[in-house]
Amino acid sequence: MRNRSAFWPALALMAPLVLFLAFAYAVPFLGVALWSVTLPEPGLGQYERLVGDPLVQSAFLRTFRICLIVTVIAVACAYAVTYVWVRGTRMQRRLIEICIFVPFWISLLTRAFGWLALLSTRGIVNTSLQALGLTDGPLALVRNEPSVIAGMVHVLIPFAVLPLASAMRTVDERMLLAARGMGASRLRIFWSVFLPLTLPGVIGATLIVFVFSLGFFVTPAILGGGRSIMVAELVYLRMFQSPDWGLGAAISVALVILVAGLMGLLARFARLGLTGGGR
């Protein structure tokens, strides 16, 4: 250790936060885990319900389906904006920056409300469609799955941008030059050279977005209107509408295990990317 004199002071600097989180976060989480095997009665009954109860099962399946769709759309959209953000002119980069980072700082509630303002029965889209005479009555654009997907994609795009940008920044320009020199078309250069080179970023972004989307609660609750309930909303309902804390706790534990597995995958992948990158 090259800085021995600072050992005790440095430890004292780190201790407050570590102890605070141990008592305010780690220990209570163990308490929740305890709930999952003791409420309403001791045993693994709640975990049996996770796999057996059709309501819980359908919520999990719906969550996986929606999260998969959301992840694919969000990463694809993020790829397009990141491409221009990394490779565009100064003006284009500024513009993209505003589009990505201003919504990022705005509250989830405000953004969900924005979607309601756009899509509700008397919202901007329906009013415009009717004014143009394209539709007779209002379309049901909100309180359904597509609106939930739109809202979630909107929140998640910025999270996919950063891993994609760091992958795109490391692309060796000479590879693209070589491809062009050998007569490849623009599309061919992108498809056979640029995209494969940025694949590690795509996989990283996909995992991050998927993990984040699993725990989504506010956006689906507002835009879904209680119709297509996802896992996180199910936890909330089990806690506050039909007191069933044991099931809520069991779902929480299952979510943590799932996320830990995915993060482990991400970590392993990042390590492979570092050592196997050949740079």
Partner 1 sequence: MRIRRPGPVALVLALLVGAFLLLPLLAVVPISFTPGRMLTLPKGSLSLTHYRTLFENPDWLASILLSARIGLFTSVLSTVLATSFALGIWMLQPRFSSWLVGFVLLPMIVPPVVSAMTLYFLLTGMSRMSHAIGFDSVIGVTLAHVVMTVPFAVVMVLVALAQLDRRIDLAARGMGASVVQRIFHVILPNIAFGVATAALLVFVLSWEEIGVTLFITSIDAITLPRLMWMGLRDNVDPAIAAISVVLIVVTLLILLARMAFQRRPEFEEE
Task: Write down the least CB distance from residue 59 to partner 1, Å.
Answer: 12
Task: Write down the least CB distance from residue 200 to partner 1, Å.
Answer: 20
Closest CA to 44 of 250, 248, 217: 250
Closest CA to 161 of 223, 95, 110, 85: 85
Task: Write down the least CB distance from residue 154 to partner 1, Å.
Answer: 7
Q: Tokens 């359904």 map to which residue?
A: 144
Measured from the CB atom, the residue of 145 and 262 that comes closer to partner 1 is 262
Spell out a b/e string for 94-120, using b for 16 or more CB atoms within 10 Å of the CB, else e.
eebeeebeeeeeeeeeebbeebbebbb
Measured from the CB atom, the residue of 10 and 61 that comes closer to partner 1 is 10
Task: Write down the least CB distance from residue 61 to partner 1, Å.
Answer: 17
Task: Write down the least CB distance from residue 8 to partner 1, Å.
Answer: 9
**How far is residue 78's CA from residue 105's CA, in Å, rounded to a whole number?**
17
Task: Write down the least CB distance from residue 254 to partner 1, Å.
Answer: 10
Task: Write down the least CB distance from residue 54 to partner 1, Å.
Answer: 21
